[in-house]
Structure formats: C-alpha cells, structure tokens
Structure 1
Amino acid sequence: MSAPVEVPDLVARTLDLSRRRGFITSTRHETGRLLATLAASREGTLAELGTGCGVGSAWLHSGAPKEARIVTAELDPELAKDVQEIFASAENVTVLAGDWSALEQYAPFSLLFVDVRDVMADMDVLAGLLAPGGIAVLDDFVPSSFWPPIVDGQVDTVREQWLTDERFVAVEMLIDPDASLIIATRR
C-alpha cells in the first residue's frame, strides 16, 4: 500500500507564502486533504471565505474537477495580490481583493470553506450562499466533550447553532486532539 500523495505544488507554494508572511495558523494538512476529497465530489462553484495565503483554496484546487470554479476573497489587497500571483496559472481559480461579501455574486456554492469565525455566526447569510445539497466546512473549532459545547468556560453558540439548525445535516469532526471542524450539508 502506498503513502498519501505528497503536498500538491500549489499547496506548497501557499504554505511557503504563509511562512514568509508569518502566518502560523494556515489550514492543517488534515483539513486540506478533507477539502480536496470533498471538492472531488463537487460541481459548479466552490468558495473559500478567509483566503489568507490561499492554502485552503490550493487544497480545494487539488481535488476539484477541472470544470469546477473556485473563488476566494482576501481583505488585505497586498496579500490578495501575492495569492493571485500564485494562482495565475490556475485558470479555474479567481482570487478577489475585498471582504467575503465580494463572493456573493458567484453564489450559489456547491462547497464553501469558511475560515472566518465572525462570519460563521451569520448562518442565514451562509445558508443563502449554498446550493441545495451544498456543503459548508467550518474550520478552527476547539474540541469539546460537553453538550452544549463549552470552550473557555462559555457555550460555543456558533457551533451549537450549526449542529442543531434544521436547514443542515451537520457533524463535528476531530481533526487533531486540539482541533475540530464542522461539515454541514444544506438540505
């Protein structure tokens, strides 16, 4: 049996940009491989909210069918420019300079990777961005063995909402002992 494929070239290039820019919280390889796997099953438009250095988008690109479109928006115009340069040869990837709302014009999405905690709380907007059957992947949760989920002595209301909202079928997945994410499919 062979080992998993090495990190794809675009992922390596975005990780290098992350290192140079001092970002230490880029998308984990485990999350990235999950994004690539889910992207392989999707058609239409995929999106990332919270581009950063483009690591999540690079993972999406590594798994997505060639005819799928990937859009992502980065608030910092200089960082967006650096990420645009990395993706210049990827014809199906569009990197926008602007806040996440710049992506609304490309909706509905068949897969939406959300890496901005403040935006996760606005379920109505995010639900409206997803096509029926669309999948949202929400990153950067701290595992909790309690219900309702407790983090730093407080109920994690964002996680609680995503796991109980009737518009979605959702599950929390442990990615590492200190990290989890939520996968939610729009009914």
Structure 2
Amino acid sequence: MSFLDLSPSPVRTGRACAWIEQDGRILMAARDCGGWTLPGGGIHPGESPALAAVREAWEECGAHAEVAGEPVILHSASGIDSLCFPLRLASPALEPSPEGRPVAWIDPRVLPWADDMQLRQVLRARGETPQHLDVPPLVAQADSEAAKVGFDRSCSLEVGRLLRVLATSRPAGRLLELGTGLGAGSAWLLAGMDPSARLLTVENDPDRALMATRLLQHDSRAEVLHGDWTGALAHGPFDLIFADCAPAKGEAAQLDRLLEALCLGGVLVLDNFTPPTQLPAALYGGDAAREALFGHAGLSCAEVQVSARECVLLATRRA
C-alpha cells in the first residue's frame, strides 16, 4: 500500500512529528510499509520544526492542530532523531487525510502500544512508563554511564529483555558474557538470574572493564574479567553464553570453541544480526555466520527478530 506524499522535497532536513492526545488516546497514521506511526516527516527549508509537526498532522491525519508544549527528542534505529511536539486539536473533528492515510486513536499506555519505539520514548520523557515495562535500575545506570562517555554499543532494549528471559530460564545457572562493554548486558542478565546463579563477563578494553566492575561491584553474583574473550572459555562449562564481541560471533572458525564451553542443553546467544529485509549488498551472497550456526551438527538454532533492524540467533547445544 502506498499513499500520496504531499511533501516530496529532497532538500528537507531534520524530522518532526506530532503527539496529539484526546481522551487518553493518541492519533496515529498508517505507514507505507504497514502498521502505525506518529504523524511526522522531514522539515522544509525555512520551516520551523514546530510548524513541520503541525503540517504533517494535517497532511497525514487531516488534523487541524496547534503546538501545546515543548518537544521531546525521539531516537530511531536508523540514527535519525525527531522532535516530537505535543499538539492540541483546534477542531475536534478530523477531516479525511489529504494523503489518503487511514488513522487510528490508540491508548499509548497499554501493550502493545506502550512498547512502540516512538511511544515508549514519549512516555519515558513524561514519567508515564508502565512499571512492568520500565528498565531495571542497574540497566538504567549502565545506560546513563554509556551516554555520558558516548558509548553507543550497549545491547538494545529488545535484546536486553530477551537476555533477562533466558537468564530466568537457567536457575542456578552459570552464565558467560563475551564483551562486557559498560555493563548493560550484564545488568539485564542479572535482572533475570536467581540468587544462586553466577555471571562471568569479560571485556578486553581496560577502561570499559573498570567502569563495568564499578557498576557491578555490589552484586556478588557477577565477576568482571579484563582480557581476551577466549580466556574466559576455560572457566566453563556454561549454561548460557552471550557472545557480544565481534570476533566471537563473526568468525565461523571460533564456533567449536564456543560449543565446547557450553553444557549440553546450554544456549548460545548472538545479537546484532541484520534482518533479511535490511541486508547490505555484501551479504546478498549469504551470511557465513548464519550458515555456520544453522549448519552445525551440534546445535539446534532459531532466529528471532527482536526489532525492525535487529535479529538475535539462538543456538542450543545438543548431544
């Protein structure tokens, strides 16, 4: 399905979108690729972000609206930020969308909407995140430290939640993380582990290893090692291995080493795989890492798409 684009100018810069709330529900516009989004788009030359949000609300939703407050900065997986302005309807009735888009009024504070990438950022900025969807305090602390130093390679929220679930499934388990970063992945794993489970995490950068040690120092279940990831394998076998460093998950030749460090029934987790719809041209001929995992006789594998731009590969060791 495609809709008329009333603002096709290639010289638009930046992006603005609109949060229009009425009776506890917000206005969403249909996306070209399916699903729903806050009405928004690029900012025309000479146009303010606020006026762009008002214009997009009209073009995509048929809403006559005016700015009602300060914007929230929304981050996207594509790396393009948006200014999201709260708008107030000047007229309670919507007109047909000039672009021909369907619209919907949804409740942003309940699932699945509250977990939408755009909506959860607005809710967080407003202090309205549902308690059961908020990140654990230690994860929030790790993310805050990462933001201060400009570290942008922490695991995503979606991967973190999956790690928490997998850690919960390993009571009294021994877990290994390869590539600590600043500790966000460790914090997610610890959030799912029971009191008798143990986590070993290894980081080859001394400064990052020190910061992660400080973050995790009050949890006796966690131990941070500074060194090469291969050295940590000798501490196995492990019930779960989260391979979050490029050499461990990008080189098929290392797969047998990871497998030997897993218990029978142990799970290997590898994140940051690109969904097939987003593959770069270099992988049109195939992905060697995926082939190695799925083709290995000692593993049972599945691929889980956790967001529009990220897949996680799960592999369980079998006899």
The two structures share one fold, judged by TM-score above 0.5 = yes
CA distance in 1, matches of 2:242, 2:270: 6
Answer whether contact 1:45 1:106 (CA < 8 A) is retained: no
Matching of residue 45 in structure 1 with residue 141 in structure 2: no
Write the mapping of 1:145-160 to structure 2, written as runs, cut at 5 A.
151-154=280-283, 155-160=286-291
Answer whether contact 1:75 1:97 (CA < 8 A) is retained: yes
Aligned to 2:300, the other structure's residue is in SS state strand
CA distance in 2, matches of 1:159, 1:22: 30
Map of 2:56 onto structure 1: none
Matching of residue 138 in structure 1 with residue 264 in structure 2: no
* CA deviation after TM superposition for structure 1 residue 151, in Å: 4.0
What letter corresponds to residue 22 of structure 1 in structure 2?
G
Map of 1:11 onto structure 2: 139
Map of 2:298 onto structure 1: 167
CA distance in 2, matches of 1:102, 1:93: 17
Map of 1:83 onto structure 2: 212
Map of 1:66 onto structure 2: 195
* CA deviation after TM superposition for structure 1 residue 143, in Å: 0.8
* CA deviation after TM superposition for structure 1 residue 77, in Å: 1.1
Please, which of 93, 97, 106 is the counterpart of residue 226 of structure 2? Answer: 97
Structure 1: tracts of 5 or more residues without a match = none
* CA deviation after TM superposition for structure 1 residue 137, in Å: 0.5
Answer whether contact 2:233 2:258 (CA < 8 A) is retained: no
CA distance in 2, matches of 1:37, 1:82: 25
CA distance in 2, matches of 1:130, 1:16: 32
Structure 2: tracts of 5 or more residues without a match = 1-109, 112-129
Answer whether contact 1:14 1:54 (CA < 8 A) is retained: yes
Identity of aligned residues (%): 36
The structure having more radius of gyration, on CA atoms, is 2
Aligned alpha-carbon RMSD (Å)? 1.7
CA distance in 2, matches of 1:117, 1:156: 14
String of CA shifts for 1:31-72, please: whole Å, max 9, x gaps.
101100010011331011011111111100000111000000
Map of 2:150 onto structure 1: 22
* CA deviation after TM superposition for structure 1 residue 156, in Å: 1.0
CA distance in 1, matches of 2:310, 2:175: 23
CA distance in 1, matches of 2:282, 2:205: 33
CA distance in 2, matches of 1:100, 1:13: 24
What letter corresponds to residue 31 of structure 1 in structure 2?
V
- Residues 12 and 93 of structure 1: is their aligned pair in 2 closer, same or farther, counting only changes over 3 Å? same
When normalised by structure 2's length, the TM-score is 0.55
Map of 2:259 onto structure 1: 127
Answer whether contact 1:37 1:63 (CA < 8 A) is retained: yes
The higher relative CO (CA closer than 8 Å, separation ≥ 6) is in 1
Answer whether contact 2:303 2:311 (CA < 8 A) is retained: yes
Aligned to 1:153, the other structure's residue is in SS state helix
* CA deviation after TM superposition for structure 1 residue 25, in Å: 2.6
CA distance in 2, matches of 1:152, 1:54: 33
Please, which of 56, 63, 76 is the counterpart of residue 185 of structure 2? Answer: 56
Map of 2:237 onto structure 1: 108
CA distance in 1, matches of 2:304, 2:220: 32
Answer whether contact 2:234 2:261 (CA < 8 A) is retained: no
CA distance in 1, matches of 2:277, 2:147: 33
String of CA shifts for 1:135-159, please: whole Å, max 9, x gaps.
011011001159xxx6433321011
